[in-house]
Chains A and B, each alone.
Chain A
């Protein structure tokens, strides 16, 4: 798998889920699943506004609604590549960014999802910005530790 190294103008996020790869992939491509998690904290993603046509050239459209004031943040993207259950690539119309989601089967019912965003202008990835990745990974490690602690209780 490529994409583990960071080049200028790219952003990466990785998360491991305690779920089989097919299920995680379905969650990322089916509106009835996406509606549960696509909106970050403080927002929701109503299922009636999620349009997914997972094939090259197909649409991937969502609207995130702010829970507090109802303001809407629509995102329109087009799938570039759909390789179930390994990889999804979509291009966002408004930002010009391409997002690649890679799903790796870690065995034992665990799946790693790697998000890779390209076309992010290089100067934004200054040392200070890159330091944020370490923080993010630290948070991720803390999150995993919490989950593990909860599971073994």
Chain B
């Protein structure tokens, strides 16, 4: 599943930092390597992971092949978070109802005694 790959890719702090940097604008591999104190092969490995799950794209033709953040992929992940928040909200609405019902049942039982 693509979203799983996205989350796995972003579980790594260096890759999260690369994504954060690209959110400010496109950057070349050299520009990305500098702040992370990584070798070019090291940074390339991270970029390949991000590229595979569609979080970044690289121009095939431009000489310096700048990396570009694909915001749609990030949005899909953000949507996933929204889904999780909705699940907890609805779950707790139902728990609220359930608690009221069982407590009303308890009160009735006590009054019946």
A contacts with B, residue count (CB < 8 A): 38
Contact present for A36 and B78 (CB under 8 Å): no
Which of chain B's residues has its CB closest to A140's CB? B89
The residues of B that contact A19 with a CB separation of less than 8 Å are 99, 103
Kindly state whether residue A108 has any CB partner on chain B within 8 Å: no
The residues of A that contact B19 with a CB separation of less than 8 Å are 123
- The SS class assigned to the B binding surface is helix
Shortest CB distance B34–A (Å): 20
- Give residues 11-39 of B contacting A (CB, 8 Å): 11, 16, 19-20, 23
Question: What mask results when residues 122 to 141 of chain A are scored 1 for a CB within 8 Å of chain B, else 0?
Answer: 11111011001100100110
Question: What mask results when residues 68 to 110 of chain A are scored 1 for a CB within 8 Å of chain B, else 0?
Answer: 0000000000000000000000000001100000000000000
Shortest CB distance A126–B (Å): 7
- Show the binding face of A for B, using Cβ within 8 Å: 11, 13, 15, 17-19, 23-24, 27, 33, 36-41, 95-96, 113, 115, 117, 119-126, 128-129, 132-133, 136, 139-140, 143, 147
